[in-house]
Amino acid sequence: MERVKEILLNPLAAITKAKKERNLNKTILIMIFSWFIIAVSFLFSYNSEFMIIKISSSIAIFLFGILFSIFFSYILNIVMKILGGKGKYYEALTATTYSSLPVSFGFLIMSIAYAIHPMIGMIIGFIIFAITTASSLSIYFRAIKEFYSTDIFVNFIGILIVIYSLIISMYISTFFSISFPLFGNLRIF
Protein backbone atom coordinates (compact mmCIF):
# COMPACT_ATOMS: atom_id res chain seq x y z
CA MET A 1 0.00 0.00 0.00
CA GLU A 2 2.99 2.28 0.40
CA ARG A 3 3.63 2.20 -3.35
CA VAL A 4 -0.05 2.91 -4.09
CA LYS A 5 0.11 6.00 -1.89
CA GLU A 6 3.35 7.02 -3.57
CA ILE A 7 1.88 6.63 -7.07
CA LEU A 8 -1.01 8.88 -6.14
CA LEU A 9 0.95 11.52 -4.22
CA ASN A 10 4.44 11.43 -5.77
CA PRO A 11 4.35 9.50 -9.05
CA LEU A 12 7.86 10.54 -10.13
CA ALA A 13 9.39 8.96 -7.04
CA ALA A 14 7.30 5.82 -7.58
CA ILE A 15 8.45 5.56 -11.21
CA THR A 16 12.08 6.03 -10.18
CA LYS A 17 11.81 3.35 -7.49
CA ALA A 18 10.12 0.94 -9.88
CA LYS A 19 12.87 1.49 -12.44
CA LYS A 20 15.54 0.66 -9.86
CA GLU A 21 13.75 -2.24 -8.15
CA ARG A 22 12.26 -4.00 -11.19
CA ASN A 23 9.84 -5.88 -8.92
CA LEU A 24 7.24 -7.60 -11.11
CA ASN A 25 5.29 -8.84 -8.07
CA LYS A 26 4.63 -5.26 -6.87
CA THR A 27 3.51 -4.26 -10.34
CA ILE A 28 1.11 -7.20 -10.59
CA LEU A 29 -0.31 -6.53 -7.12
CA ILE A 30 -0.91 -2.89 -8.00
CA MET A 31 -2.57 -3.93 -11.28
CA ILE A 32 -4.87 -6.35 -9.42
CA PHE A 33 -5.66 -3.68 -6.82
CA SER A 34 -6.44 -1.11 -9.51
CA TRP A 35 -8.82 -3.41 -11.38
CA PHE A 36 -10.40 -4.48 -8.09
CA ILE A 37 -11.22 -0.83 -7.38
CA ILE A 38 -12.75 -0.46 -10.85
CA ALA A 39 -14.80 -3.65 -10.34
CA VAL A 40 -16.07 -2.40 -6.97
CA SER A 41 -16.95 0.98 -8.46
CA PHE A 42 -18.92 -0.80 -11.19
CA LEU A 43 -20.73 -2.71 -8.44
CA PHE A 44 -21.85 0.63 -6.94
CA SER A 45 -22.96 2.19 -10.19
CA TYR A 46 -24.58 -0.73 -12.04
CA ASN A 47 -28.36 -0.60 -11.84
CA SER A 48 -29.83 -4.05 -11.58
CA GLU A 49 -32.36 -5.60 -9.28
CA PHE A 50 -30.41 -8.84 -9.13
CA MET A 51 -27.26 -8.83 -7.04
CA ILE A 52 -25.88 -11.86 -8.90
CA ILE A 53 -25.83 -9.86 -12.14
CA LYS A 54 -24.00 -6.99 -10.46
CA ILE A 55 -21.43 -9.30 -8.89
CA SER A 56 -20.86 -11.38 -12.03
CA SER A 57 -20.49 -8.23 -14.13
CA SER A 58 -17.96 -6.83 -11.66
CA ILE A 59 -15.98 -10.07 -11.71
CA ALA A 60 -16.00 -10.05 -15.52
CA ILE A 61 -14.74 -6.46 -15.58
CA PHE A 62 -12.01 -7.36 -13.08
CA LEU A 63 -10.78 -10.35 -15.10
CA PHE A 64 -11.10 -8.65 -18.48
CA GLY A 65 -9.28 -5.58 -17.16
CA ILE A 66 -6.32 -7.63 -16.00
CA LEU A 67 -6.13 -9.45 -19.33
CA PHE A 68 -6.46 -6.16 -21.22
CA SER A 69 -3.64 -4.58 -19.20
CA ILE A 70 -1.38 -7.54 -19.92
CA PHE A 71 -2.20 -7.46 -23.64
CA PHE A 72 -2.01 -3.66 -23.94
CA SER A 73 1.40 -3.71 -22.26
CA TYR A 74 2.59 -6.37 -24.69
CA ILE A 75 1.56 -4.24 -27.68
CA LEU A 76 3.14 -1.15 -26.09
CA ASN A 77 6.41 -3.00 -25.56
CA ILE A 78 6.53 -4.10 -29.21
CA VAL A 79 5.87 -0.58 -30.47
CA MET A 80 8.32 1.16 -28.14
CA LYS A 81 11.10 -1.31 -28.93
CA ILE A 82 10.58 -0.77 -32.67
CA LEU A 83 10.68 3.00 -32.10
CA GLY A 84 14.07 2.67 -30.38
CA GLY A 85 13.15 2.30 -26.72
CA LYS A 86 15.43 0.37 -24.40
CA GLY A 87 12.83 -1.18 -22.07
CA LYS A 88 11.30 -4.64 -21.80
CA TYR A 89 7.86 -6.03 -20.99
CA TYR A 90 8.21 -5.20 -17.30
CA GLU A 91 8.55 -1.51 -18.14
CA ALA A 92 5.44 -1.53 -20.33
CA LEU A 93 3.38 -3.37 -17.72
CA THR A 94 4.56 -1.05 -14.96
CA ALA A 95 3.76 2.07 -17.00
CA THR A 96 0.29 0.73 -17.80
CA THR A 97 -0.33 -0.36 -14.21
CA TYR A 98 0.88 2.82 -12.52
CA SER A 99 -1.13 5.01 -14.85
CA SER A 100 -4.34 3.05 -14.25
CA LEU A 101 -4.30 3.64 -10.50
CA PRO A 102 -5.45 7.31 -10.32
CA VAL A 103 -8.25 6.78 -12.81
CA SER A 104 -9.47 3.74 -10.87
CA PHE A 105 -9.88 5.91 -7.77
CA GLY A 106 -11.68 8.43 -9.98
CA PHE A 107 -14.12 5.70 -11.00
CA LEU A 108 -14.69 4.77 -7.37
CA ILE A 109 -15.38 8.33 -6.20
CA MET A 110 -17.62 8.97 -9.19
CA SER A 111 -19.64 5.79 -8.62
CA ILE A 112 -20.10 6.54 -4.92
CA ALA A 113 -21.24 10.07 -5.75
CA TYR A 114 -23.57 8.70 -8.43
CA ALA A 115 -25.03 6.19 -5.93
CA ILE A 116 -25.87 9.11 -3.61
CA HIS A 117 -27.61 11.07 -6.36
CA PRO A 118 -27.18 11.06 -10.16
CA MET A 119 -26.80 14.84 -10.36
CA ILE A 120 -24.15 14.86 -7.63
CA GLY A 121 -22.43 12.01 -9.42
CA MET A 122 -22.46 13.90 -12.68
CA ILE A 123 -21.01 17.12 -11.25
CA ILE A 124 -18.50 15.63 -8.81
CA GLY A 125 -17.75 12.80 -11.23
CA PHE A 126 -16.81 15.21 -13.99
CA ILE A 127 -14.43 17.15 -11.76
CA ILE A 128 -12.81 14.10 -10.15
CA PHE A 129 -12.61 12.16 -13.38
CA ALA A 130 -11.00 15.08 -15.22
CA ILE A 131 -8.34 15.37 -12.51
CA THR A 132 -7.63 11.64 -12.25
CA THR A 133 -7.58 11.15 -16.02
CA ALA A 134 -5.10 14.00 -16.42
CA SER A 135 -2.98 12.47 -13.68
CA SER A 136 -3.15 9.00 -15.25
CA LEU A 137 -2.18 10.19 -18.71
CA SER A 138 0.69 12.25 -17.29
CA ILE A 139 1.96 9.26 -15.34
CA TYR A 140 1.67 7.09 -18.44
CA PHE A 141 3.70 9.43 -20.64
CA ARG A 142 6.31 10.04 -17.96
CA ALA A 143 6.67 6.35 -17.09
CA ILE A 144 7.18 5.39 -20.72
CA LYS A 145 9.70 8.20 -21.12
CA GLU A 146 11.66 7.05 -18.07
CA PHE A 147 11.40 3.30 -18.63
CA TYR A 148 12.19 3.30 -22.35
CA SER A 149 14.63 6.24 -22.36
CA THR A 150 12.83 8.03 -25.18
CA ASP A 151 11.72 11.59 -25.71
CA ILE A 152 8.13 12.78 -25.38
CA PHE A 153 7.58 12.91 -29.15
CA VAL A 154 8.47 9.21 -29.53
CA ASN A 155 6.18 8.44 -26.57
CA PHE A 156 3.31 10.29 -28.18
CA ILE A 157 3.82 8.54 -31.52
CA GLY A 158 4.13 5.16 -29.76
CA ILE A 159 0.91 5.58 -27.82
CA LEU A 160 -0.90 6.76 -30.96
CA ILE A 161 0.31 3.67 -32.81
CA VAL A 162 -0.89 1.39 -29.99
CA ILE A 163 -4.32 3.04 -29.83
CA TYR A 164 -4.63 3.13 -33.61
CA SER A 165 -3.72 -0.56 -33.91
CA LEU A 166 -6.30 -1.52 -31.27
CA ILE A 167 -9.02 0.51 -32.99
CA ILE A 168 -8.22 -1.01 -36.39
CA SER A 169 -8.16 -4.50 -34.86
CA MET A 170 -11.55 -3.99 -33.21
CA TYR A 171 -13.00 -2.60 -36.42
CA ILE A 172 -11.71 -5.42 -38.62
CA SER A 173 -12.70 -8.19 -36.18
CA THR A 174 -16.18 -6.66 -35.79
CA PHE A 175 -16.54 -6.39 -39.56
CA PHE A 176 -15.61 -10.04 -40.05
CA SER A 177 -17.89 -11.24 -37.26
CA ILE A 178 -20.82 -9.33 -38.77
CA SER A 179 -20.11 -10.09 -42.41
CA PHE A 180 -19.25 -13.77 -42.10
CA PRO A 181 -22.83 -14.93 -41.47
CA LEU A 182 -24.00 -12.77 -44.36
CA PHE A 183 -21.38 -13.78 -46.92
CA GLY A 184 -19.99 -16.98 -45.41
CA ASN A 185 -22.00 -19.31 -47.64
CA LEU A 186 -21.49 -17.26 -50.78
CA ARG A 187 -19.49 -19.25 -53.31
CA ILE A 188 -17.97 -17.57 -56.34
CA PHE A 189 -16.88 -20.75 -58.10
Rounded mean pLDDT of 155-163?
Answer: 93
Residue 2 has pLDDT above 90, yes or no: no
Average of per-residue pLDDT values in the chain: 88
Q: Which residues of 75-84 are buried (b: 16+ CB within 10 A; e: fewer)?
A: bbbbbbbeee
CB 157 within 8 A of CB 83: yes
Q: What is the DSSP letter of 49?
A: S
Angle at Cα 165 formed by Cα 18 and Cα 66, nearest 5°? Answer: 45
Alpha helices in the chain (DSSP H): 2-9, 11-21, 24-45, 51-82, 89-116, 118-148, 152-183
Q: In this predicted structure, which of 112-126, 128-142, 155-169 has the lowest mean pLDDT?
A: 112-126
Tell me 46's DSSP state.
-
pLDDT at 95: 94
Per-residue pLDDT tens digits for 29-88: 999 999 999 999 988 777 767 788 888 888 999 999 999 999 999 999 999 999 998 989
pTM for the whole structure: 0.84
